[in-house]
Amino acid sequence: MGRILLVEDEESLRDVLSRYLEAHGHQCDFAEDGVIGVERVTAAPGLYDVIISDIEMPRMDGITFLRRVQPYIESITPFMILTAYDEWRYAMDAIRLGACNFLQKNPFDLAEIANAVEKALETREMYKLRMNHQEQLEAEVREKTQELQRTCDGTVMALAAMIEGKDTSTLRHLFRVREFCRMLARELGLPDKRLRELELGSMIHDIGKYSIPDAILTKPGSLTAEEWVEMRKHPENGRDFVRNIPFLKGAEEVVYCHHERYDGGGYPQGLAAEDIPITARIFSVVDAFDAIVSERCYKPARPASEAISELHRCSGTQFDPGVVEAFVRIIPAIEARRGDLDAMVQAQLVAMGLGRAEDRPAIRDRIAKSA
């Protein structure tokens, strides 16, 4: 049994039809014209199981009524039209707008109308069951996807920790950069898939350093020309590593291109401007900002105002000007979140546990063998 809205200006017809449908177990509400019908529907969206409307009515005809209420009714709600023979042209307009059936007023066949209502309700119930089943399946897929993503995130975090060893300041930097990248990507309107690739890449952008000798990575002084050649191989090494692991492949752009410069003076490819993937352009701005405002063992933290000045100074040379401007817009939000973010990062580090610095060569060996 269903709840039916009957929109009909002829009182006698409305009364006869409503009594007949109620005798068959349905509940009927009335509207004398389209204007009142719209008020009924918009006051309680999704309330009605079936809507039956005349076409020729004062103040608002049935076609206009149907157009007005479409945003407020379920897509599976049957909309049925009452029509006389001379109104068939309008009936076809109603069908094109989504009406599921049209019923003749002259002659007026109550049994036919009641039968049409029953069939419409059965169809609606079938669609509802199908939609509910589809929603349940989609919910299960979302749950499994989220579970898989959490597992992948744990692996990515572990990889980052392995590469950075015991340097918690660098790990904190990575976690902050990931969050800031997410905020900037949303400011720039990146789709979810690209945002996810950016998050992955930001955490393991330096994974290619697993193949760089420790003597170079930990050298206290300046690198020689030969050592710089070796160091600059890490983007390619990282690209080759992640592209062979399905759930890490999305990180490839950031891993391979995070040392490219907007003016074309970066490496390994010397890409410029729009040829540099947007994920890498976002990462380079965020990475530089957080490096400037963060305290390290070799330098004090600098204020955000100085970091912003540095980003503007390098805009158009090292950084994408559009990305810089977007990032500057969200800095107030970043500063407002900094305390909460630091607490979240600390909790993640505690939950992960950290390997000892002396374990790094052995860990790199294991990563290299798995690549």
Task: Measure the CA–CA gap between 16 and 11, rounded to whole angstroms.
Answer: 9
| Predicted confidence (pLDDT) at residue 42 exceeds the cutoff of 80 | yes
Helices (H), 83-167: 88-97, 110-164
Looking at this protein, which amino acid is placed at residue 178? Answer: R
Which residues are CB-contacts of 3 (< 8 A; sequence separation ≥ 6)? 26, 27, 28, 29, 47, 48, 49, 50
Model confidence band, residue 297 (pLDDT cutoffs 50, 70, 90): low
The reply to whether 299 belongs to the active site is no
Which pLDDT score is estimated for 366? 40
Which pLDDT score is estimated for 322? 94
The CB density around residue 9, as the number of other CB atoms within 10 Å, is 16
Model confidence band, residue 244 (pLDDT cutoffs 50, 70, 90): confident
- Active-site residue among 105, 209, 249, 299? 209
Among 51-55, 87-91, 125-129, name the one with the lowest average pLDDT.
Answer: 87-91
Q: How far apart are the first and last CA of the chain?
A: 63
Alpha-carbon dihedral sign for residues 83, 86, 88, 91: negative
Q: Are 121 and 2 in contact, with CB atoms under 8 Å apart? A: yes
Q: Which domains does the chain have, with CATH numbers?
A: 3-134 (3.40.50.2300), 165-370 (1.10.3210.10)
Write down the pTM of the prediction: 0.56
Task: Measure the CA–CA gap between 294 and 275, rounded to whole angstroms.
Answer: 30
Question: Do you know the residue count of the chain?
Answer: 371
Model confidence band, residue 363 (pLDDT cutoffs 50, 70, 90): very low
Q: What is the mean pLDDT of residues 292-298?
A: 73
SS3 156: helix
